[in-house]
Structure 1
């Protein structure tokens, strides 16, 4: 959710327009009055054009002066209309059906034929002469990359301009302009520029990026905004089957699978860079699928794509997005290799998809130049340190930017720096910014420290009754080398004070050497995760169990002290050496953690004192982070696998510790985008405790007695229903992203998404651990057959909720076994 709340401040603000060189917009209909969707609209004697949307509307803008628009579509006569002024809006264009075209390859709207279609014939030649991306076609490569990120507020009317919310900020409306794709007025609110030198070696599979310069304005102290834009965009290849962004896979119109997804129409031909090219218009065959509409130009000798426009359709199943527009330009290097020259990506965010609703543009422009190939630099050149802040890159002169920008800023973009510098000094704007910051982070910012998280202020559980919690953290900036966090809590039923305090310091930036330690005394629900966690300030499930299934009377009191040393010798590979000491006692009346302390099994103890040493290795290949302080921001939170290995050693008699044991745990999580079939997440867990330990130290299969989703738990299991000292588990969840519902009339309009899941666990418990137990609980393990359950769900309910029904697969004879469970989850997802 944290990504999307960055947009909150942008939705609060939005304006009159300034005039560009040539603008045209309106609607296209035929002689029966029906609208003509996906018709081709271009300025005469140019390749600057667009296609009408699903209801025949269009908008087209150019910085150049044009005096004629050309409208064309198979089945209709081509029509030219003279433009009387630089701004030509609300045009009503009527196309006349052409009788001769009835014998051609397409019908007027809907599906086109795959046979005897010249557009499809050209597409097949594109497949046969499929290009390789230039940087992958050579042993070594280097190039300069210029990136421009921008956030703009859009769709602003006079009522908004006159709103009291803008008192003190009226000057910002002098900087509005009109978007060249949508025709909406917009106000720039943030811009970030960067120049990077990229080096790569395909033989050794290494790449190195050197940041030469970075400049931004607006929210320049909040790096997360930049990361948000980068995260919603992913590099893609139009020649591959799918184009990925917003965690979804769109069918590429250039791919071999596109012929079953799109209709293609040969629309025009013209010279581009002195090469004869064909123009092909494409649009989706079905509604509500992850598809585009647009056109592309193909050279008639190399059969390479020279230019392509991709625009999502109005009914595409993505939340909070009105429209996505992509434009790419290519240079064909030779008969087999192309180089990308320009890549423009724009997303139009909005609370809803109404045309008149206000929203936010997120735009990214990438330009590439100064290519060089087959210059070998050796493996040592690519040994990148983990820490590489390159602070000098953030203080470049105006002369540097004049020399290194691959595209000069226009007059409006140059004004952004002036306007935003003034805006961030106004009290009115800073009040709005503070509201957005609290919504995103959960913290209220003060000078040098933050109060929060505000969402944990109140809670409830059986032991404490109503619980209040107050906490905070030090915060001087996102690259702080040290941080201290603390909280205090009080239960109005048990009348006890609880607390937690944690500190960490970054000693070496290059190796990411971090020392951390802390202490927590609180009430906790143990057994909610198979994988060990010694996070001192982790969320307490016991404090938020307001709605439960059955009895939740198995809470524990924990006094946990932790010290650890962590380093990152290789990028995304962390090694952590830790020591912790914990004291466990039952917190709920009638719940026992008792164990026998003598061989005759006559003497028991109800308190566990345990010292534990651990070595934890975590590998997250492909993870992207920003910042270089003690806490970094993860840019691509859901796009990389995680491997976790933990070896723990219980040490008896150190600080009166009670047990010697060895424990090994493994965890693997893999997100998967499966083409057009949606997104899966698979996780595997396995572990073994090699010595006898009491109930408080065993591996409890995590049940879920709440009505809310809990990661990697089993919703039809109660807490402590299965207890193991060796286990293996699998969790599979898949989201079809509405692929099935989109084919059902009426239901497709709701944009719901189909969810399925499967979970299983197998484990046992040694007789030695059973003999040690004196708790009175039945220690049962899923050792006869793996316990399993499956689920069916519906996601994207009202855009923010998912509902799942979970079915138990076996072990119905367990006491109070639940055959069915329901969970809900809330969150902002695309």
Structure 2
């Protein structure tokens, strides 16, 4: 046996050398990996946005200094940057705001920087438009006639594909299952797992929440616009929800003034007055479609305003808008983006694409659309949210095609803005394939199938159909719609009034209908009834001719307009406390029609036998009347000149309710016709004007007046809807508040044969006080003047006239909890009462929101 083997030793040594070399390479590789990993970890790319701390409105073009380098945020206050030294701050500077140092941590990727106003310098800051950009904007305004298609062209038409999505980005939703701890009063803390976010992420990954599409033909000539819906489909609906097809969330034209967003009119920045409200800033110049354009930023002169902000790309030669981006930050965040295509032959930029997005803003309330409650998230903070539904947003895209300019176009301008082609309501799947550009979005393909099955299982379409019927006061039962108004009522004269009524519906006949009701008063022990058969003369204008007979009670001196819509009320508060009624046996023939553009028309001939159910005698020309006959002809118009209408296969719908609205009514007795006892004429007029604000506030004004000439009995005078009980204590006078009622005016206190009244109201946003306690405050002022004809003699009731003027003001705190609220009004002026408590009115209000 060999004691020492040299070759063996050499092999061992060589093996060790190789092993050590391999290990050395491993250590070196590990060192290099750790070295570069450390380098990569030591720097972070962040995305940031700079906003006002109070309004959450982005601050445009802020200066950001970091490591002796300065960059500028964009027009939405956004910027991105590599952070290499985490012990060095970002220094943010903006005029009128306190300079802020911001330190970035290693794990931050999205940073929201909130700036605070410097009260010492903010009011001194002057932001102005320099002469160069001012001249450009002025040129845009001056050249609108050459650049706005509606003014530059004789006519045009195009087809338009529009797609609406309600969806969310799955990547923005955390799939984490949260643990919720709930404390109990006399036991241990309860632990519950919340998987809502996980389930929502799973759902939104498969399909969108909602989707609908339509193809419409847009036509324009010098008489105006006409839109024809050629095809439409809505997820979950066999027949489309027609209200959506008329939905206009944003103006079609960037040149319109006022510019509309969410049906709220705003001053267009490029209007003549717009330059007084907005500042403009020339950002850059660049080429679009080989044409030089100026990139101009605009924002309100009041930096904290929620008014429009945005960018214009202005053609340097024609001063037309080549691109436009609008942003509004408030209770909702709104993005509206317009792109245009230059058409050389017409030297015109014509719309190419429009995109509109709505997201949740700085409000805590839900935003409702299409009858569903949807929560939108804020675009300012796109990091995963603990509430997944806050990530939902709505977007609408519309793309024109088959564009024809300056072609002879004729269409009937009858006040109908949108018309639905009945043939387009049932298009096959292959029809839509050519319009769906985004075929890679597999979620769109699954949406219709998923929502259709959900809608069928939940009977959503049936529920919306029922909701519309209920809002109009009916509940459908096979061939008859049950009249919900006739079931139960209460007043001081009849006590509880129990009844039943209804009208036949289209399931029985579209040409004929019969309405009837019967009721019994528990206290007066009298039966009342009415019947009205009707025949449809013309379907398109919805012209009905009807005959009617009623034997019922009416409140004295009511101010009624025959064309007012009958909206369903669970309760009608005023009649509860009324005891002065008259029996009214009336036979009438009347016609109702929508024949005239943007109006409702009513004409009636009627004969009434009047029997006051209170102590009353009317002395006229030496004759005393306790019962009397009145034969009248009545003509009434409801005219909404600024509203837009849609003609569906079934009915005409007011899709854009614009103000002011006007109602006028003429009533004339017919002497020596059917034993008529009196000769008088009545003229009634009212107008209502409501101004919505993008902030969610709204202001309204109601002006109403009437005059009666001749010999008018008390039952047909005016009493201005009083709603106060004549009792000593305040608590005894607490009842339900009415709509547009004079809450401090006592019943039967004033009567007039001519009057004028004005009601002013401003409603604020809801205030969140606690869980499901979100009151809505309004301030209200009402005033009225009136006179009484001294030549007529009314015996039985004592009352005053209103020559000196009646005034009341108050606060409404509505919808505190489950629709209930409180109101408080105070009476002042010439008819103020000596006892201060008698001028105060406290009431309970109730508003029901069915979500439609």
| Same-fold status (TM-score > 0.5) | yes
Asked if 2 retains the 8 angstrom alpha-carbon contact of 1:563 and 1:578, the reply is: yes
* Separation (CA, whole Å) in 2 of partners of 1:104 and 1:36: 20
Change (3 A) 1:310 1:298: same
The equivalent of 2:221 in structure 1 is: 200
The equivalent of 2:670 in structure 1 is: 651
- Bigger shift: 757-766 or 326-335? 326-335
Change (3 A) 1:707 1:266: farther
Asked if 2 retains the 8 angstrom alpha-carbon contact of 1:346 and 1:362, the reply is: yes
Distance apart, 1:564 and its partner CA = 0.7
Asked if 2 retains the 8 angstrom alpha-carbon contact of 1:564 and 1:577, the reply is: yes
Query: Does 2:498 match 1:498?
Result: no
Query: Does 2:829 match 1:809?
Result: yes
* Separation (CA, whole Å) in 2 of partners of 1:393 and 1:352: 32
* Separation (CA, whole Å) in 2 of partners of 1:338 and 1:396: 33
Query: Does 2:803 match 1:780?
Result: no
* Separation (CA, whole Å) in 1 of partners of 2:708 and 2:747: 20
* Separation (CA, whole Å) in 1 of partners of 2:136 and 2:514: 62
The equivalent of 1:129 in structure 2 is: 140
Asked if 1 retains the 8 angstrom alpha-carbon contact of 2:572 and 2:738, the reply is: no
Asked if 1 retains the 8 angstrom alpha-carbon contact of 2:415 and 2:598, the reply is: no
Summarize the alignment of residues 468-547 of structure 1 with structure 2, pairs less than 5 Å apart: 468-476=498-506, 480-529=510-559, 531-533=560-562, 544-545=573-574
* Separation (CA, whole Å) in 1 of partners of 2:643 and 2:237: 24
SS of aligned partner of 1:392 = helix
* Separation (CA, whole Å) in 1 of partners of 2:323 and 2:505: 47
Distance apart, 1:297 and its partner CA = 5.3
Query: Does 2:791 match 1:768?
Result: yes
2:591 maps to which of 558, 562, 565? 565
Distance apart, 1:372 and its partner CA = 4.3
Distance apart, 1:174 and its partner CA = 12
TM-score, normalised relative to structure 1: 0.68
Query: Does 2:492 match 1:462?
Result: yes
Query: Does 2:378 match 1:364?
Result: no
The equivalent of 2:750 in structure 1 is: 722
* Separation (CA, whole Å) in 1 of partners of 2:687 and 2:619: 35
SS of aligned partner of 1:136 = helix
Summarize the alignment of residues 398-477 of structure 1 with structure 2, pairs less than 5 Å apart: 411-426=442-457, 443-453=474-484, 457-476=487-506
Change (3 A) 1:376 1:614: same
SS of aligned partner of 2:152 = coil
SS of aligned partner of 1:768 = coil
Distance apart, 1:198 and its partner CA = 0.6
Asked if 2 retains the 8 angstrom alpha-carbon contact of 1:489 and 1:497, the reply is: yes
SS of aligned partner of 2:677 = coil
SS of aligned partner of 2:685 = strand
Change (3 A) 1:449 1:627: farther
Distance apart, 1:614 and its partner CA = 1.5
Asked if 2 retains the 8 angstrom alpha-carbon contact of 1:77 and 1:98, the reply is: no
Gapped regions of structure 1 (runs ≥ 5)? 1-30, 40-52, 57-69, 83-91, 161-171, 179-184
Query: Does 2:340 match 1:330?
Result: yes
- Bigger shift: 419-428 or 266-275? 266-275
Change (3 A) 1:407 1:674: same
Distance apart, 1:226 and its partner CA = 1.9
* Separation (CA, whole Å) in 1 of partners of 2:93 and 2:563: 72
* Separation (CA, whole Å) in 2 of partners of 1:787 and 1:371: 60
2:610 maps to which of 568, 584, 588? 584
The equivalent of 2:661 in structure 1 is: 642
How big is each residue's C-alpha offset from its partner over 1:28-66, in whole Å with a ceiling of 9 and x where there is no partner?
xxx999995348xxxxxxxxxxxxx9499xxxxxxxxxx
Query: Does 2:716 match 1:697?
Result: yes
The equivalent of 1:7 in structure 2 is: none
Query: Does 2:833 match 1:819?
Result: no
Change (3 A) 1:96 1:649: farther
The equivalent of 1:88 in structure 2 is: none
Distance apart, 1:578 and its partner CA = 0.6
The equivalent of 2:3 in structure 1 is: none
* Separation (CA, whole Å) in 1 of partners of 2:458 and 2:91: 65
Q: Quick check: which has more Rg, 1 or 2? A: 2
Q: CA RMSD in A?
A: 5.6
The equivalent of 1:617 in structure 2 is: 637
Distance apart, 1:669 and its partner CA = 3.1
* Separation (CA, whole Å) in 1 of partners of 2:428 and 2:242: 24
Distance apart, 1:235 and its partner CA = 2.3
* Separation (CA, whole Å) in 2 of partners of 1:94 and 1:528: 75
Distance apart, 1:613 and its partner CA = 1.4
Distance apart, 1:217 and its partner CA = 4.5
Distance apart, 1:515 and its partner CA = 1.0
The equivalent of 2:241 in structure 1 is: 223
How big is each residue's C-alpha offset from its partner over 1:507-534, in whole Å with a ceiling of 9 and x where there is no partner?
11345432133344444433342x4449
The equivalent of 1:235 in structure 2 is: 251
Distance apart, 1:141 and its partner CA = 1.8
Asked if 2 retains the 8 angstrom alpha-carbon contact of 1:105 and 1:116, the reply is: no
Asked if 2 retains the 8 angstrom alpha-carbon contact of 1:71 and 1:80, the reply is: no
Change (3 A) 1:384 1:673: closer
Change (3 A) 1:474 1:711: same
SS of aligned partner of 1:137 = helix
Asked if 2 retains the 8 angstrom alpha-carbon contact of 1:76 and 1:101, the reply is: no
Gapped regions of structure 2 (runs ≥ 5)? 1-42, 59-70, 101-114, 178-198, 360-366, 368-372, 378-384, 725-733
Change (3 A) 1:387 1:515: farther
* Separation (CA, whole Å) in 2 of partners of 1:248 and 1:177: 31
- Bigger shift: 628-637 or 192-201? 628-637
Distance apart, 1:300 and its partner CA = 6.6
Distance apart, 1:692 and its partner CA = 1.0
SS of aligned partner of 1:696 = helix
Change (3 A) 1:159 1:252: farther
Asked if 2 retains the 8 angstrom alpha-carbon contact of 1:680 and 1:732, the reply is: no
Asked if 2 retains the 8 angstrom alpha-carbon contact of 1:175 and 1:415, the reply is: no
Asked if 2 retains the 8 angstrom alpha-carbon contact of 1:465 and 1:491, the reply is: yes
* Separation (CA, whole Å) in 2 of partners of 1:654 and 1:491: 33
* Separation (CA, whole Å) in 1 of partners of 2:76 and 2:495: 72
SS of aligned partner of 1:494 = coil
The equivalent of 1:339 in structure 2 is: 350
Asked if 1 retains the 8 angstrom alpha-carbon contact of 2:686 and 2:704, the reply is: yes
SS of aligned partner of 1:717 = strand
Asked if 1 retains the 8 angstrom alpha-carbon contact of 2:482 and 2:501, the reply is: yes
Asked if 1 retains the 8 angstrom alpha-carbon contact of 2:547 and 2:590, the reply is: yes
* Separation (CA, whole Å) in 1 of partners of 2:805 and 2:389: 52
